[in-house]
Chains A and B, each alone.
Chain A
Amino acid sequence: MERYRILPHTADGKFQAYGETLDEAFANAALATASLMWDWTKVESKVGFAVRVRGRDLEQLLVKFLGEVIYLMETRRFLLAGVSGLKIEREEESYRIEAAFQGDEISGRYEIFGDVKAVTYNDMRIEDCDCGVCTVQVVVDM
């Protein structure tokens, strides 16, 4: 199963991320987001960040979770290379995500070729497991 697929969209970035579980699809969505800005396959895993995000529903959770990729790049100069231990948990009135991001610091070694400004709700789809494939679709503002 491919991790994600970049789709055509006139003004911005659009992708679908896949996984056997929703957790896996979310993790691949983070990599898809990163892929619009840098080649995460070329980034070494030297530093890590623990990510904890809450949302009222799955859509809000996804928007905030993917927002961490941009936030860490802008404020910690962190380039995502991999995601591990991702768990989505349902609480009473909300959802929670915990995950570990691995990656490296921005340097001349890595080319940054795109600017994702924000994750949007536009055309968002979260499909939980049809025939063993979960799909999330996201449009990001570039």
Chain B
Amino acid sequence: MGLTELVKIDENTWEIPKQGEMRVPAVIYASARLLQDIKHDLTLEQARNVACLPGIRRMSYVMPDAHQGYGFPIGGVAAFDPDEGIISPGGVGYDINCGVRLLRTEFMDAEISSRRKDLLEEIFKDVPAGVGRGGVTKLSRNVLKEILAKGAEWAVENGYGTPRDLERTEERGRMRDADPESLSDRALERGIPQLGTLGAGNHFLEFQKVVEIFDEGVARTFGIHSEGQVTVMIHCGSRGLGHQVASDHIELMANRFGTAGLPDRELVNAPFRSDLGQRYYRSMCAAVNYAFANRQMIAHRVRDVFARVLGSAEGMDQVYDVCHNVAKLERHAVGGVEKQLCVHRKGATRSFGPGRPEVPAVYRAVGQPVIIPGSMGTASYILVGTSEAEEKSFSSTAHGAGRVMSRHEALRRFRGEQIRDDLARKGIELRSTNWKGVAEEAAAAYKDVDEVVRVSHELGIGRLVAKVVPIGVMKG
């Protein structure tokens, strides 16, 4: 990728002009510093490839924390006309609805400080995590299908949390276009043992304290009112079921439509309105629902633990739950005309501003909460969606810090136990099912999330509301 091909638009905006097979330009939102990271891998080439796909509208977008992915870059946003355009599993990602849920509490860090270890220990016992560990619920295939249809709604109906939680979840925790019957046997088989589990890799559960509030008014609307206030963040996805849905459709689409004309095999796609395109969309919705149900169940267990250890879980309300890997049908303006588009966000977060009907009524005056987790042991941020994001990025922003160092390299450089001790010195408790995984997740292996959110704020695609740091971390 020639450096000369990037045109600087402003401090945080760069463009790859339409050329060759590109149907639209590609736009990269990043500071000069973040752009250096982005140039180290194939992100820019991938953004350019995405711009070649049929039916793409406006631009192929790249978020500040982007890095190379499968076909589409991670941190990529691309919207397609549903009648003329395509849907692509690579534009969503293997971990369908990998996302984050944020709970706020009425507890203050000072109050619970002495009970941190106990809290973490109990959470570790109650929330299954790691690889190859089963879930807490014995599922039949029929119940699984119910969950695939109803998502977090099923969880609430079965005693995990309250309707208030659903109000404060993207899609209300249920994508209605889900069709459980469209999933393969293998996807169902992988889904059965894993419900209610946290998974591994970069998935985690943290309880945190607020260290800075940037916008008091919006923070208050979100339920965040003081420095020192305790919050809980849960980051996980659809586990093996989502991965299987992605793999299955990559294969089906390759078999049906071939990969010959594609710049990259992993850009395999199908027309959105085709049988196969619809089948993927509906299976993806089902996998999205699975992940919502998962986070709903885990959040409920965390509330139970807080109640048990601290005496009460009152005020432990959900702030919001956002998807990082998903394709959604949303209305956006293109060339002055409002149209429904199929918006693919892979490693990117929706960032709707005030007035959008999709934003819960309680937040509609200010915009939706955007939750951006940092890497293990570093800060995470809460932002608010904006109107400017509409025009700039189809209402999207970053999802968290992307990796800069391979797992291999991180394992060479760091030891899990050392990281645990370093974190303990900073007052952060860590529990994990394996220390190798901890080394791989070392903060130095990730981009600087502070820089990522600063750029988001400066661009106006997601404005800073609050900053939290972990006090207890559980990793799979």
Interface residues of A (CB under 8 A from B): 6-13, 37, 56, 59-60, 63-64, 67, 70-71, 73-75, 77, 106, 111-115, 117-122, 141-142
Q: Does B344 contact A (CB under 8 A)?
A: no
Contact present for B255 and A74 (CB under 8 Å): no
Contact of B70 among A37, A77, A120 (CB under 8 A): A120
Show 7 residue pairs from A and B whose CB-CB distance is below 8 angstroms, ordered by the A residue: A11-B403, A12-B407, A37-B131, A56-B255, A71-B189, A112-B132, A117-B95
Q: Does B437 contact A (CB under 8 A)?
A: yes
Interface residues of B (CB under 8 A from A): 41, 67-70, 74, 94-95, 130-132, 186, 189-190, 192-194, 199-201, 240, 243, 246-247, 250-251, 254-255, 265-266, 402-409, 434, 436-437, 476
Contact present for A106 and B74 (CB under 8 Å): no
Contact present for A10 and B405 (CB under 8 Å): yes
Q: Please measure, in the bound complex, the distance between the C-alpha atom of A117 and the C-alpha atom of B404, giving whole angstroms.
A: 20
Contact present for B68 and A10 (CB under 8 Å): yes
Contact present for A74 and B194 (CB under 8 Å): yes
Question: Are A74 and B190 CB-contacts (below 8 A) given A37-B131, A115-B476?
Answer: yes
- Which residues in B have their C-beta under 8 angstroms from that of A114? 131, 200, 436-437
Contact present for B408 and A9 (CB under 8 Å): yes
- Which residues in A have their C-beta under 8 angstroms from that of B130? 112
- Which residues in B have their C-beta under 8 angstroms from that of A115? 131, 199-201, 437, 476
Contact of B434 among A6, A10, A59, A111 (CB under 8 A): A111
**Contact residues of A: prevailing secondary structure:** loop
Q: Please measure, in the bound complex, the distance between the C-alpha atom of A70 and the C-alpha atom of B476, giving whole angstroms.
A: 17
Question: Are A142 and B201 CB-contacts (below 8 A) given A8-B408, A56-B255?
Answer: yes
Contact present for B436 and A142 (CB under 8 Å): no
> In chain A, what residue has the closest Cβ to B436?
A113
Question: Are A121 and B266 CB-contacts (below 8 A) given A10-B403, A11-B402, A64-B251?
Answer: yes
Question: Are A10 and B67 CB-contacts (below 8 A) given A37-B131, A115-B476, A117-B95?
Answer: yes
Q: Please measure, in the bound complex, the distance between the C-alpha atom of A74 and the C-alpha atom of B194, giving whole angstroms.
A: 8
- Which residues in A have their C-beta under 8 angstroms from that of B476? 115
- Which residues in B have their C-beta under 8 angstroms from that of A118? 94, 243, 246-247
Q: Please measure, in the bound complex, the distance between the C-alpha atom of A60 and the C-alpha atom of B251, giving whole angstroms.
A: 7
- Min CB distance B94 to A, Å, is 4
Q: Please measure, in the bound complex, the distance between the C-alpha atom of A91 and the C-alpha atom of B243, giving whole angstroms.
A: 28
- Which residues in A have their C-beta under 8 angstroms from that of B407? 9, 12-13, 142
- Which residues in B have their C-beta under 8 angstroms from that of A60? 251, 254
